[in-house]
Each structure stands twice: as structure tokens, then as C-alpha cells.
């Protein structure tokens, strides 16, 4: 099994093929993916918002301007996949768009994707489109809502594509204000508390990030913010490298979130409206994980090596803490939120392993968890829309009245607990196998997290969907075609990237091509 997986993730290109130059693709494609939502936001700004018809038009515009980037991202994904199958793709950055921006400081507008970031671009464009669909029934302040969603889209896809530290920071920050307002205006009862808490944590993260970037810029003395150049040439004293590693780590750990900086997450999730939760868990957390791999490992491999035990400890504590906390929640959404903390802990575990396989697993987990937890939050939202409660205790026997929804729930829950055949399994398996050789005890403890997630998910399913149905829920009906449609789409993705050999292999190879340089620099096997 291990051998099979290793074979799966390590393509063996024929020697001749690696030397052929690959076309890197037009840079404008990526810039379109990032900036089209801005055009959408401007169009919506110009639209009137007086009648229901106007609202329908606004929603359609938002759908179009998230669907087109999704299609473009898929185009990039599949053309890269074809190149991988033909062994013509070597893992370099593709679709690079590079324009001088602030000459005096060597800052560039430079975007591009490699095997690590391309899947995340696909993930984010997918989830933004789904989030727009999931917001179709929104009635309140529709115009502002979709403008904020589209602005958020720019920031997130920008983070995954930026190849310049200053640009990375700019995109990182774009997310702050829209997310704050989305929680604070459209959130639940305690929205103000949750929004401010989110804001304070995020501002702290940003301050650390900016400080780290500026120190890196000054101390490297290269006069550039270019990520690739700095990763290859920056010669820093060891102490400074360690300090910078922890500064970046602090920022990404807040976003991921890692124990003990995760406390903003359950509040933000519970109060945020469903589509915003989907985005928050599905993509925004991935920004933290992506930063960990791209910057903490990619820029500071020696520090990542030195502190791998600390990272492991934080990861394992996160896995167990999140898992146990999820076990005792009564609010379904809070439970899913804590399960996110737990599953993001696996990313840290994989990162601490620093082997090719464990890093592959961490990157795979980012993608898998994005789709799976996105689905879970959508499902929580669908239950809440119909029952107006998320309390597990109050629900029961829903499967009798909502069979389709129950099936979707079971599938998503099984995927989330890491059942083979779904995307999450591959990720977690790679993480455990890859890390076990390095940190035996830690990995064993982390594996216990899978047991925990089986416990809280199955127990929740049993209490909510099975057993005797309560009188109150006799009149419930299954969700409509739109909801079942996007749910089916999401779960199909979860299944495809976990079971279909061709699809899974393509993604695994793509990620491996992106992660291999990181693993090589980190000195792992």
C-alpha cells in the first residue's frame, strides 16, 4: 500500500521529456481569474437595487463573475494535467504575469501558479461559485453582500497566486474588511462579538506578516520582494531565520488556525451566514496552510527542520483539542468548526514531517478539507434553513422526511472522517505515512484524531438523522433542486478526488510537482 502510494505521487518521467521546454501558458489567464470578480463588483455597484427583479439580476451577475473564473481555473488545471500526463510539465510556475510596479523598491505585480497553488485556485473559484449559489435566497442588503463576496474573491485567489511578498501581503489584507462586514452585517445573534474577535486576531496576524516581510526585505539586501529569488538567494543569519520563521508562523497559525490561536474560529463560524462559513472554512483557512508550506517551509527550510517538533506538537494538540471539543458540542455548526481545527492540525503534522510524502499529504489535505468542510457547512445551512435550529439535541429522525439531505450528510460525514474512497483519506494517509518515519509517537497520537472524528460525526448523524422523529419535524421537506444540485456537485468532487484513479493521480502528481522542490530544500526524503 505504501509503495503504491509512493508510486502514485512520484511520476517517473522519461529522461528526454524533462529537458523539453514547456509552454508556461499566458499570464493573462491567471490575472483574469484574479481580477474578473472586481469587474463583477463594479457592475453590481452600478446596478439598481429596488425590486426583486433587480436582486435577481445582481445575483446573476455575481454568478457569472464567479463561474467564468472557475471555468478559467479548470482550463488551467486540465491543460496542466494534460502536460503532466505527457511528461511535458516540470513543475515550474505557469501562467506567470510579471509587471514592474514600484521600481524604487523592486516590487512587482507577479502572479503565477505551480502544482501547490493551482489546486487551491481551482478550490477557491469553485467554492466562490458555490457560495454565490448558496446565497440565492438572500433578501437583505443584497447589493453590498455580493460586492463584498466578489472583493473577497480577489483577495483569496490573489494570495494563492502572488509571487511577490508585497503583493502577497496586499492580497492577504484584501480579505480583512469584507469578511469583517460579512460576519457583522449578515451574521447571527452575537455577530458583533464574533466579527470584532475575527478582526482583532486577523489584524494581529497581518501585523506579524508585514513585519516579517519588511525584515526579510531589508535583511536579505537583495532589493526585491520576489518570492522565488528570495527563497533561493537570501542569506540570513540563523537566529534571524528562526525569528522570521516564527513571525510568519504566527500569522499563518492564526489563519489556519492552530492551537492556541484558534478561539476566533468557532465564534466566527457560528455567527457567519452559511455561504460565508463555507468560504471561511473552505478557503480562508487554506490561506494559512498555503502560507505554511509556501513560506515557512519554502523560504525557511532550515528553521522548519529545527522546529519540526514544536510544529508537530502544535499540530497534535490541535487535532486532539479540536476533536474532543467537537465531541461535546450541541450546535452542529460549532461541531463542524471544531472539526476544522482538528483537521487543520493534520496539516501541521504533515508539515512537521518534512518528507515529500508528508508535505504532499498536507497540500492534499488543504484541497480535500476545503471541499469536504465546505460541503459540511452547506449541509448545516440546509438543515438550519428548514428547522431554524442547529441544536443536535432538538433534532432527530430527519432522514425520514429529508432522505436526500440525509444521504448527502452521510456521504460528507464519511468523507470528513477519512473513509477510503474520498479525498480526505488520501491526504490523511499520506500525512501519517510520511510523518511516521520522523515522529513516531506524534503520528500515533494524531491518528487518534481520526478515531475522534469518526466518533463525533457518526454520533451526530445518529442523533440528528436517525432514531425516532420528533413531532415538530413531521412537515419538513427535502431541499430544492438548486440546493441538491450544488451539493451533488461538491460531493462528486470529494468522491472524484478520492476514488477515481485518473483524477486522483493527476491531482497527486500536480501537488507532488509543486511540493517536491520544497521537500528537496527541506532535506526530507
Partner 1 sequence: MNAQTLYYLLPELVLLATALAVVIIGLFLEGDVEPAATSAPARRVAATVAIVGTVLSFATLLLLIPSSGTPWDKLNGTFVVDHYAIFLKALLLLFAVITILMGYRATETFRPHQSEFIGLVLLATAGGMFMASAREMIELYVSLETLSIALYVMVAFNKGERRSSEAGFKYLVFGAASSAVLLYGLAILYGLTGRTNLDAVGQELARAGTASPALVLATIFIIGGFSFKIAAVPFHQWVPDVYQGAPTPVTAFIAVSSKTAGYALLIRVLTSALLPLTHQWGMYIAIVAAITMTVGNVTALSQTSVKRLLGYSSIAHAGYIMLGLLAISNPQTERLGIAALLFYLLVYGLTNLAAFAALQTAEAATGSDELTALAGLGRRSGGVALILALSVLSLTGIPPLIGFFAKVLVFIPAVQAGYSWLVLVALVNSALSAVYYLRVVRAMYLDEGRAGRPLSVGAPMAAALAVGVFALLPLAAFTGVFFERAQAAAAAVFQR
Binding site for partner 1 (CB under 8 A): 100-105, 141, 143-144, 166, 169-171, 173-174, 176-177, 181, 184-185, 192, 199, 203, 207, 210-211, 214, 217-218
- 28/500 with CB nearer partner 1: 28
CA atoms within 13 A on the CB side of 167: 28
Closest CA to 96 of 172, 171, 20, 24: 24
Q: What minimum distance in Å lies between the beta carbon of 217 and partner 1?
A: 8
Q: Cβ closer to partner 1: 41 or 81?
A: 41
Of 65 and 259, the one with the shorter C-beta distance to partner 1 is: 65
Residues 6 or more apart whose CB falls under 8 angstroms from that of 56 comprise none
Nearer Cβ to partner 1, position 100 or 451?
100
Shorter beta-carbon distance to partner 1: residue 143 or 505: 143
The closest of 38, 280, 300, 278 to 158, measured between CA atoms, is: 38
Least Å distance between CB 123 and partner 1?
A: 23
Could you please report the per-residue DSSP string of 61-87?
Answer: HHHHHHHHHHHHHHHHHHHHHHHHHTT
Is the backbone peptide bond immediately before 257 cis, with ω within 30 degrees of 0? yes
Distance CA 196, CA 359 (A): 34
190/470 with CB nearer partner 1: 190
Nearest to 340 by CA among 357, 321, 361: 321
Give the nearer residue to partner 1 in terms of CB position, either 152 or 312.
Answer: 152
Nearer to partner 1, 29 or 215 (CB): 215
DSSP symbol at 470:
P
Distance (Å) of CA 286 to CA 342, 347, 432, 482, 512: 14, 10, 20, 27, 18
Strands 94-102 and 107-113: antiparallel
CA distance 377 to 281: 8
**By the 8 A CB rule, do 55 and 49 touch?**
yes
Residue 165: CB minimum distance to partner 1, A: 12
Least distance to partner 1, CB of residue 173, Å: 4
Q: How far is the CB of 176 from partner 1 (least distance, A)?
A: 7
Nearest to 338 by CA among 325, 347, 320, 328: 325
- Which residues is 162 bridged to in the sheet? 111
* Nearest residue (CB) to partner 1, 252 versus 338: 252
CA–CA dist 353, 402 (Å, integer)? 43
Three cell numbers written together for 193: 462579538
Report the residue number, 140 or 471, with the smaller CB distance to partner 1: 140
Least gap, CB of 216 to partner 1 (angstroms): 12
Length of the chain: 525
Query: In angstroms, what is the minimal distance from the CB of 320 to partner 1?
Result: 33
Cα–Cα distance measured from residue 372 to residue 364, given in angstroms and rounded to the nearest whole number: 12
For residues 184 and 391, what is the distance between their CA atoms, to the nearest angstrom?
22
The alpha-helical segments, DSSP class H, found in 328-478 are 332-353, 356-387, 403-416, 423-436, 440-465
* Rounded Cα gap, residues 256 and 287, in angstroms: 7
| Neighbour count for residue 27 (Cβ, 10 Å) | 17
Minimum CB distance to partner 1, residue 170 (Å): 4
In the complex, minimum distance from the CB of residue 192 to partner 1, in angstroms, rounded to a whole number = 7
Q: Which is nearer to partner 1, 115 or 158 (CB)?
A: 158
- Nearest distance from residue 287's CB to partner 1, in Å? 15
We find the least distance from the C-beta atom of residue 102 to partner 1, in angstroms, to be: 5
Amino acid at each position: 500500500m505504501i509503495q503504491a502510494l509512493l508510486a502514485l505521487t512520484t511520476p517517473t518521467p522519461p529522461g528526454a521529456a524533462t529537458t523539453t521546454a514547456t509552454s508556461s501558458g499566458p499570464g493573462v489567464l491567471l490575472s483574469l481569474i484574479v481580477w474578473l470578480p472586481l469587474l463583477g463588483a463594479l457592475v453590481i455597484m452600478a446596478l439598481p437595487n429596488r425590486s426583486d427583479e433587480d436582486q435577481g439580476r445582481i445575483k446573476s451577475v455575481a454568478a457569472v463573475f464567479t463561474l467564468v473564473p472557475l471555468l478559467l481555473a479548470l482550463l488551467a488545471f486540465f491543460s496542466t494535467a494534460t502536460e503532466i500526463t505527457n511528461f511535458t510539465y516540470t513543475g515550474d510556475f505557469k501562467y506567470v504575469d510579471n509587471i514592474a510596479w514600484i521600481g524604487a523598491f523592486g516590487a512587482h505585480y507577479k502572479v503565477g501558479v505551480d502544482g501547490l497553488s493551482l489546486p487551491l485556485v481551482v478550490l477557491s473559484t469553485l467554492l466562490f461559485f458555490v457560495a454565490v449559489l448558496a446565497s440565492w435566497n438572500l433578501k437583505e442588503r443584497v447589493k453590498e453582500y455580493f460586492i463584498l463576496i466578489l472583493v473577497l474573491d480577489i483577495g483569496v485567489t490573489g494570495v494563492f497566486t502572488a509571487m511577490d511578498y508585497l503583493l502577497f501581503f496586499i492580497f492577504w489584507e484584501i480579505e480583512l474588511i469584507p469578511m469583517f462586514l460579512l460576519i457583522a452585517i449578515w451574521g447571527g445573534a452575537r455577530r458583533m462579538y464574533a466579527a470584532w474577535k475575527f478582526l482583532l486576531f486577523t489584524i494581529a496576524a497581518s501585523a506579524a506578516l508585514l513585519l516579517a516581510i519588511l525584515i526579510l526585505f531589508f535583511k536579505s539586501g537583495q532589493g526585491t520582494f520576489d518570492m522565488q529569488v528570495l527563497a533561493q538567494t537570501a542569506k540570513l543569519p540563523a537566529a534571524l531565520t528562526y525569528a522570521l520563521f516564527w513571525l510568519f508562523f504566527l500569522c499563518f497559525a492564526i489563519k489556519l488556525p492552530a492551537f492556541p490561536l484558534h478561539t476566533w474560529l468557532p465564534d466566527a463560524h457560528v455567527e457567519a451566514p452559511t455561504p460565508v462559513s463555507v468560504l471561511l472554512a473552505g478557503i480562508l483557512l487554506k490561506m494559512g496552510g498555503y502560507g505554511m508550506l509556501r513560506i515557512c517551509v519554502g523560504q525557511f527550510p532550515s528553521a522548519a527542520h529545527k522546529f519540526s517538533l514544536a510544529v508537530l506538537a502544535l499540530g497534535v494538540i490541535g487535532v486532539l483539542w479540536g476533536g474532543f471539543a467537537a465531541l461535546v458540542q450541541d450546535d452542529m455548526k460549532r461541531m463542524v468548526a471544531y472539526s476544522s481545527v482538528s483537521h487543520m492540525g493534520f496539516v501541521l503534522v504533515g508539515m512537521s514531517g518534512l518528507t515529500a510524502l508528508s508535505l504532499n499529504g498536507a497540500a492534499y489535505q488543504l484541497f480535500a478539507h476545503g471541499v469536504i468542510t465546505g460541503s459540511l457547512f452547506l449541509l448545516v445551512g440546509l438543515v438550519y434553513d428548514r428547522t431554524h435550529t442547529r441544536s443536535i439535541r432538538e433534532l432527530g429522525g430527519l432522514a425520514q422526511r429529508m432522505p436526500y439531505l440525509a444521504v448527502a450528510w452521510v456521504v460528507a460525514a464519511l468523507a470528513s472522517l477519512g473513509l477510503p474512497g474520498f479525498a480526505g483519506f488520501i491526504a490523511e494517509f499520506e500525512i501519517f505515512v510520511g510523518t511516521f518515519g520522523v515522529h513516531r509517537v506524534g503520528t500515533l497520537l494524531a491518528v487518534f484524531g481520526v478515531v475522534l472524528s469518526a466518533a463525533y460525526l457518526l454520533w451526530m448523524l445518529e442523533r440528528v438523522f436517525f432514531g425516532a422523529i420528533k413531532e415538530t419535524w413531521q412537515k419538513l421537506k427535502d431541499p430544492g433542486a438548486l440546493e441538491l444540485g450544488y451539493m451533488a456537485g461538491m460531493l462528486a468532487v470529494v468522491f472524484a478526488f478520492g476514488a477515481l484513479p485518473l483524477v486522483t493521480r493527476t491531482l497527486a502528481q500536480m501537488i507532488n510537482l509543486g511540493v517536491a522542490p520544497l521537500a528537496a530544500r527541506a532535506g526530507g526524503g
